């Protein structure tokens, strides 16, 4: 699968990495430094799984279109979740050097 490297997610991911290299401020999550792009990836995994597998909207105003635009992914239903999980796993492999299964 090819990714839209011009998507807002990848722009934020690169900005987070530049900030980390320059010693800039990132999010503090349980005492650990985390970029906003990774935080969004983790939260969206929860939200998209709820929406695709259980048919539950995470919040009343939540919509799937902004998720697709932010991450630069396409698809509907299970195909959308599959595309997102591929991106999720590839990013975590890149960042942590570990493969995360479903």
Model confidence pLDDT, tens digit, residues 11-33 = 999 999 999 899 888 898 998 88
Please, are residues 38 and 14 in contact by the beta-carbon 8 Å criterion? no
Q: Which of 14-18, 23-27, 50-54, 94-98 has the lowest mean pLDDT?
A: 94-98
In this prediction, residue 102 carries a pLDDT of 47
Distance between CA 96 and CA 44 in Å, rounded?
19
Average pLDDT over residues 87-97: 89
pLDDT digits (tens, 9 = 90+) for 64-90: 999 999 999 998 888 999 999 999 999
Pairing of strands 32-34, 27-29: antiparallel
Average pLDDT score, the chain: 90
pTM of the prediction?
A: 0.86
């Amino acid at each position: 699968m090819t990714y839209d490297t011009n998507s807002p997610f990848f722009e934020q991911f690169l900005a987070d990495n530049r900030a980390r290299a320059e010693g800039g401020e990132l999010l503090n999550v349980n005492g650990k430094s985390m970029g906003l792009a990774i935080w969004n990836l983790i939260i969206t995994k929860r939200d998209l799984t709820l929406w695709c597998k259980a048919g539950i909207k995470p919040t009343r105003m939540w919509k799937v279109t902004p998720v697709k635009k932010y991450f630069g992914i396409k698809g509907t239903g299970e195909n959308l979740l599959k595309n997102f999980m591929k991106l999720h796993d590839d990013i975590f492999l890149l960042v942590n050097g570990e493969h995360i299964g479903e």
